[in-house]
Amino acid sequence: MSSVGPLLSELRKQNRLSQLELSLLADVSSRHISFIETGSNQKQQNWMGQC
């Protein structure tokens, strides 16, 4: 499965959301959003599956 990070980043920017704003909407930390977007989080698919 390809990384969702670049897609998440693109969609967030298209919707003019900061990482902080997205994190508040998703009920996760802004650091977690950053990790997902940069590919630093190996558990990103598990988190995305919960949405």
CA-CA distance, 24 to 3, in Å (whole number)? 22
pTM for the model: 0.72
Structure tokens at 15: 């919707």
pLDDT in tens, 1-51: 468 999 999 999 999 999 999 999 999 999 999 999 998 755 555 656 666
Q: Is 4 helix (H, G, I), strand (E, B) or coil?
A: coil
Q: Which two tokens stand for residue 1?
A: 């499965």
Residue spans per domain, the chain: 5-42
* Nearest by Cα to 19 from 35, 3, 4, 40: 35
d(CA 26, CA 30): 10
